[in-house]
Amino acid sequence: MDGENPASARFSFEVRGRDAATGARLGVLRTAHGEIPTPVFMPVGTAGTVKALPHEWLEALDARVILANTYHLYLRPGPERISRIGGLHRLISWPRAILTDSGGYQIFSHRELRRIEEEGVRFQSHLDGSSHFLTPESVMDIQRVLGSDIAMVLDDCTPYPCGHPDAEISMELSTRWARRCAVHWSRDCHEARALFGIVQGSTFADLRTRSAEALLDLGFEGFAVGGLSVGEPKSAMFEVLEHTLPLLPDTRPRYLMGVGTPRDIVRAVALGVDMFDCVLPTRNARNGCLFTSEGRLLIKNAAFADDERPPDPDCTCLTCRRYSRAYLRHLYVSGEYLSATLNTMHNVTFYLDMMGKIREAIASKSFGKWLERMEKWPE
């Protein structure tokens, strides 16, 4: 039922090609739930659903991996129930790979509801106010129960702006937690599953260096760059990436968490990032914002009321093949459920198609041209 294939049940990553002029690389992640060509975009399915999209549609789009969130699934339906049903893949009927975020970011974004201690984080549920205490070890246990193909360490997500002393304290706590996660994970290590470390350190190069160096010793299967896209200027985000990515081992996958716009993604691929997730395509879809080859399209605009063209003439998704801007606008302004579904279908297709084109461009040695074109994409 959950589609796990024991014959290939060993997590691995292989770099298969490189762009000559940039840091962009082609690769493949192998998991017990299928191969994932990289660079890859992982649609966000926080609570075990990529909001508004049935899983057969995601499969039809050839989404190979989705992201789910440990914090949300821990609160509801809860690890005990998920365990009884046989894991998250089985509960949600998703046979392909799942990466679970540790929940650090979600816990820390509810600032008034949580207290950080050395041992872990104490917080109140945003659902019912109940009290909880999560430790690096318990977050590993929960992700093991979920059956994540890729699990993430619990980290302290530094807010922006943040002074150097506070960023240092936060990064050091994240490092100690990462060590505890690695030790606990290795006690019952399932070789089909991978644990990724998360580099923190806000916008300070020296802290990013120390964070990365400390994580390198802990034997993670991959590395994420965390704490970005939290309000800092774009220039600061790319400075951190340019500084941090070369510190990470070339043989391991690199994951930029929570980024970003199409242009951000293409630029980050050029610096050597392999994996992305972001709520933009799905959240914007529900807010009536469509990503198209000509830029963003705000479907509620009156200009589309009589427009019989598809949202994006260059797109072949189910939405664009059949429905007009006029209809999508009508659905949106009427508050119809189908609006979210059709818009999400299109935006997720746009992101996944873009990643496919990036991979083709790297393979055919034309990534530079692609980069140039995306620089002109009207963001």
Q: Which residue, 199 or 352, is less far from Zn ion as judged by CB?
A: 352
CB of 347 to Zn ion, least distance (A): 8
Q: Which of 101, 149, 264, 312 is catalytic?
A: 101
CB of 243 to Zn ion, least distance (A): 37
What is the C-alpha separation between 12 and 50, in angstroms, rounded? 26
Q: Which residue, 14 or 314, is less far from Zn ion as judged by CB?
A: 314
What is the C-alpha separation between 183 and 178, in angstroms, rounded? 9
Please name the amino acid found at residue 238: F
C-alpha distances out from residue 373 to 83, 173, 294, 376, Å: 47, 41, 11, 5
Q: Which residue, 268 or 285, is less far from Zn ion as judged by CB?
A: 285
Q: Which residue, 315 or 340, is less far from Zn ion as judged by CB?
A: 315
Q: Which of 149, 274, 277, 353 is catalytic?
A: 277
Q: Which residue, 39 or 281, is less far from Zn ion as judged by CB?
A: 281
Q: Which residues bind Zn ion (CB under 5 A)?
A: 315, 317, 319-320, 346
From 202, 229, 223, 217, select the one nearest 275 (Cα to Cα).
Answer: 223
C-alpha distances out from residue 243 to 166, 218, 250, 271, Å: 20, 21, 14, 10
**Are the beta carbons of 209 and 247 closer than 8 angstroms?**
yes
CB of 129 to Zn ion, least distance (A): 41
From 335, 301, 297, select the one nearest 313 (Cα to Cα).
Answer: 297
Output the CA torsion sign for 198, 202, 205, 206: negative
Length of the chain: 379
**Residue 133 CB neighbour total at 10 angstroms:** 12
CB of 377 to Zn ion, least distance (A): 16
- Long-range (24+ apart) CB contacts under 8 A made by 162-166 are 162/202, 164/204, 164/207
- Would residue 101 show up in a list of annotated catalytic residues for this protein? yes
CB of 351 to Zn ion, least distance (A): 11
What residues act catalytically?
A: 101, 277
